[in-house]
Amino acid sequence: MHFELPAPSTAFEVALEDGARIRVRRHGNPHGVRILFTHGNGFAADGYFPFWRQLLNYDLFVFDFRNHGQNVPADPPNHVYAQLSRDLERVLRNVESQFGSKKTVGIFHSMSSRTAQKHALEIGWRWDALVLFDPPSVPPRDHPLHDAMVVFETRLADYARRRRARFASVDEMTAEYLNSRATRLWIPGVHALMARSVLRRDPKGEGWRLVCDPENEAGIYEQALTLNLWPKASEFPGPVKLIGADPGIGPASARANQALGVENGYDHSFVPGAGHMLQIEKPDACLAEVLAFLSKHGVAQP
């Protein structure tokens, strides 16, 4: 299967406080409920197209966080959660200033889920509903899952630092995804799509390079250990949905996500048979969870 992304109805850049820029693409129904959608660490929003193509009846704004996807890498990177949280605020405010206020939903995954939590708790609640896919939440030190999450994040950081940053072709990156055990559950066609989404031509003319530098990716994994984000659902002024990987087959983040949901009072569910990249493993099941939640809170698009 080959995925071709539709052209956005409009695209624009949001200037960030340090001079970096984020390219936002608008798709779908301009009269619908607004959705802001983005990705997890080291990936890119375009690679999640098999999921977000099902939301084109909404007023859908798709973007990549700094140092990812369609954005020119920032110099200096400022690739830290506090900055990502402020970047999210800039994107939200810019979208609202250009297109007006309306019902708005955030749909985030992994790193961006943690960013959305931090943003909502420290900067402000901007949503009518918030959907968080498998945030890799690290519980307090006295929690039974704390040590497992430390191992999980540390291993990811080590892996990120060892990964290749340069490729002779997009096909070479695709082959790496296809041969990885971690991506075995991705639906057909996503490996090539994600490869196209996370690479850009090397400015020196030497093949292709990851947009997200491995050191930036590794740093996000390590920062997860010091974020101290284990909030109760009651700390958020509006509805928050946690959708996790299957804790029976997924990594430690799936079990931590389940614990966060059950212990801290969230509307929580998991997708059977799905790993951490559940939106590109089980897009239909993920969509069903999202739509049921939005309908429950009166923000589903008719």
Backbone dihedral angles phi then psi of residue 133, each to the nearest 5 degrees? -90, 120
| CA–CA gap between residue 270 and residue 275 (Å, rounded) | 10
pLDDT at 250: 78
What integer pLDDT is reported at residue 302 of this predicted model? 87
Q: How far is CA 148 from the centre of its chain?
A: 22
> What is the value of pTM for the model shown?
0.97
Position 63 scores a pLDDT of: 98
Q: What's the pLDDT score for residue 205?
A: 74
- Using alpha carbons, select from 194, 159, 191 the residue that is nearest to residue 178: 191
pLDDT of residue 179: 95
Which tokens belong to 56?
A: 């084109």
Domains present along the chain, CATH in parentheses: 10-296 (3.40.50.1820)
pLDDT the model gives residue 1:
82
Contact between residue 302 and residue 158 where contact means Cβ atoms under 8 Å apart: no
Could you tell me if 145 and 250 are in contact, meaning their C-beta atoms sit under 8 angstroms apart?
no
pLDDT in tens for each of the 302 residues of the chain?
A: 899 999 999 999 999 999 999 999 999 999 999 999 999 999 999 999 999 999 999 999 999 999 999 999 999 999 999 999 999 999 999 999 999 999 999 999 999 999 999 999 999 999 999 999 999 999 999 999 999 999 999 999 999 999 999 999 999 999 999 999 999 999 999 999 999 999 999 877 779 999 999 999 999 999 999 999 999 999 999 999 999 999 998 789 999 999 999 999 999 999 999 999 999 999 999 999 999 999 999 999 98
State how far the alpha carbon of 87 is from the alpha carbons of 72, 269, 284, in Å: 15, 29, 30
Q: Look-up: residue for tokens 């955030």?
A: 106
Three-state secondary-structure class, residue 28? strand
CA–CA separation, 186 vs 178, rounded Å? 9
User: Residues 64, 44: contact at Cβ < 8 Å?
Assistant: yes
